């Protein structure tokens, strides 16, 4: 009984305050994502410590459900029409930003004197971004410009490139450090990405045909939620990326459901409550002391990651003949970093236990900064790039 009322009180309070914070976000320079994270820090264990364990213990499943919906919405924006107009830019900018970030961070940490294997792993992890935070800033800004469409498309591919780079990086690091080298990490990445793509396609094609039949041409919310959770549940059961599977499914439905009178985005009506809980609880789990622990290594990591994203995106924009606003601001818009990077850090720390402490300290500490400041920079970039 006690756990029930604590859960309901926490849920109701977070929803109401989240709505107030959302309204405040429209009146301040700070995006609502950053405000929600700050609110989470205040009520979390670092400050007031008023979130009951019965609620915070459910963070993992809430986070996964939220990211499934985010993936579906991002995939729904990857239409053939958009890709025809910008596939060259999407590929060049996303690949260039990921690769240059990896190279810059790796070289910067090598210059600082870190072991080569550790520098390579941290460089690969740095390439990942934060799709949930980025998408929410785009939605909040209500910006329909070419810049925002391009940003969402790039973010859809970013984590796939990050996983590939990470798999290659771990193999290189294993060779450098003299660990027993096998193809386990690379094969896992191939299975993670390839399996997710196959799953997204297998669910997406029948969904494209069958949805929007109850009310002819009008896909409904229950259909969207059912598809997202079935896709995500199967992905977790099969141990493949549920984020990539959701993106692929969303893209397939958006492109092949020709009988839909409007895009299959009914899920947008319910996504925001999950986003509120997701970012508040993410803030509540942030440990601010990690910022003080990262030291000079963390400062170099952060500086090189920023430099890599900005220069990499600019070079990709230059090669693909993007306009000046994209060249100047796309790299800034790609700075948020969150869950995927932490997941890769945990995997790497298991493979290289001798570097576990420094790996987790740098990634967790820098993620605190990029989670809070990154969305603000993304909002500024969208305003300037529109």
In angstroms, rounded to a whole number, what is the distance separating the alpha carbons of residues 309 and 314?
Answer: 8
DSSP code per residue over 257-316: -TT-SS-S-TTHHHHHHHHHHHHHHHHHT--THHHHHSHHHHHHHHHHHHHHHHHHHHHH
**pLDDT at res. 318:** 92
In angstroms, rounded to a whole number, what is the distance separating the alpha carbons of residues 280 and 369?
Answer: 16
Sort 363 into a burial class: Cβ within 10 Å, 0-12 / 13-18 / 19+.
buried
What average pLDDT does the segment 240-256 reach? 85
What average pLDDT does the segment 64-85 reach? 77
The pLDDT of residue 138 is above 70: yes
DSSP state of 28: S
List, for residues 139-161, the tens digit of each pLDDT value. Answer: 788 777 888 888 888 887 887 78
Length of the chain, please?
A: 386
Neighbours of 76 (CB within 10 A): 24
The answer to whether the beta carbons of residues 246 and 197 sit under 8 Å apart is no
- Domains defined for the chain, CATH in brackets: 2-385 (1.20.1530.20)
Predicted confidence band of residue 106 (pLDDT cuts 50, 70, 90): very high
**pLDDT at res. 2:** 56
Between 59-68, 76-85, 325-334, the lowest mean confidence (pLDDT) is in: 76-85
DSSP state of 239: T
Predicted confidence band of residue 105 (pLDDT cuts 50, 70, 90): very high
Which run of H or E residues covers position 122?
helix 116-126
User: Which carries the bigger pLDDT value, residue 79 or residue 219?
Assistant: 79
Look at the pTM and tell me if it is higher than 0.85. no
Single out the residue of 36, 68, 138, 73 nearest to residue 268, CA to CA: 73
The pLDDT of residue 280 is above 90: no
In angstroms, rounded to a whole number, what is the distance separating the alpha carbons of residues 226 and 69?
Answer: 11
List, for residues 175-201, the tens digit of each pLDDT value. Answer: 776 655 455 666 766 777 788 889 999
DSSP state of 180: P
In angstroms, rounded to a whole number, what is the distance separating the alpha carbons of residues 105 and 366?
Answer: 13
Percent of the chain topping pLDDT 70: 87
Single out the residue of 224, 231, 170 nearest to residue 197, CA to CA: 231
**pLDDT at res. 315:** 93
List, for residues 17-70, the tens digit of each pLDDT value. Answer: 877 877 776 677 777 777 887 888 888 777 778 777 777 777 778 778 888 887
Average pLDDT, the chain: 80
The pLDDT of residue 3 is above 80: no
The answer to whether the beta carbons of residues 214 and 266 sit under 8 Å apart is no
């Amino acid at each position: 009984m006690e756990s029930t009322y604590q859960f309901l009180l926490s849920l109701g309070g977070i929803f109401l305050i989240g709505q107030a914070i959302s309204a405040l976000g429209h009146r301040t320079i700070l995006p609502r994502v950053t405000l929600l994270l700050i609110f989470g820090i205040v009520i979390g264990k670092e400050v007031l410590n008023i979130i009951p364990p019965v609620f915070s213990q459910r963070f993992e499943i809430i986070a996964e459900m939220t990211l499934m919906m985010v993936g579906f919405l991002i995939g729904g924006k990857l239409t053939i029409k958009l890709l025809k107009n910008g596939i060259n830019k999407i590929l060049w900018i996303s690949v260039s930003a990921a690769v240059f970030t990896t190279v810059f961070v790796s070289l910067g940490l090598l210059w600082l004197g870190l072991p080569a294997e550790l520098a390579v792993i941290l460089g690969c992890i740095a390439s990942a971004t934060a799709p949930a935070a980025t998408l929410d800033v785009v939605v909040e800004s209500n910006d329909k410009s070419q810049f925002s469409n391009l940003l969402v498309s790039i973010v859809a591919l970013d984590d796939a490139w990050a996983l590939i780079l990470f798999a290659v990086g771990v193999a290189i690091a294993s060779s450098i450090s003299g660990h027993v080298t096998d193809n386990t990490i690379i094969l896992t990445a191939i299975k993670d990405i390839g399996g997710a793509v196959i799953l997204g396609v297998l669910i997406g094609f029948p969904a494209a045909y069958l949805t929007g039949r109850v009310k002819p041409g009008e896909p409904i919310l229950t259909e969207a939620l059912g598809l997202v959770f079935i896709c995500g549940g199967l992905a977790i059961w099969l141990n493949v990326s549920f984020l990539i599977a959701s993106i692929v499914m969303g893209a397939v439905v958006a492109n092949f459901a020709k009988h839909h009178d409007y895009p299959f985005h009914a899920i947008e009506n319910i996504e925001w409550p999950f986003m509120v809980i997701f970012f508040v609880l993410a803030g509540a789990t942030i440990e601010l002391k990690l910022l003080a622990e990262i030291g000079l290594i963390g400062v170099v990591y952060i500086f090189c990651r920023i430099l890599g994203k900005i220069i990499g995106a600019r070079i990709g924009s230059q090669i693909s003949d993007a306009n000046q606003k994209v060249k100047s601001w796309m790299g800034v818009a790609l700075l948020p970093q969150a869950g995927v990077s932490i997941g890769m850090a945990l995997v790497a720390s298991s493979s290289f236990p001798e570097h576990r402490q420094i790996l987790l300290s740098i990634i967790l500490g820098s993620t605190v900064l990029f989670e809070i400041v990154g969305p603000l920079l993304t909002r500024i970039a969208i305003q300037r790039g529109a």
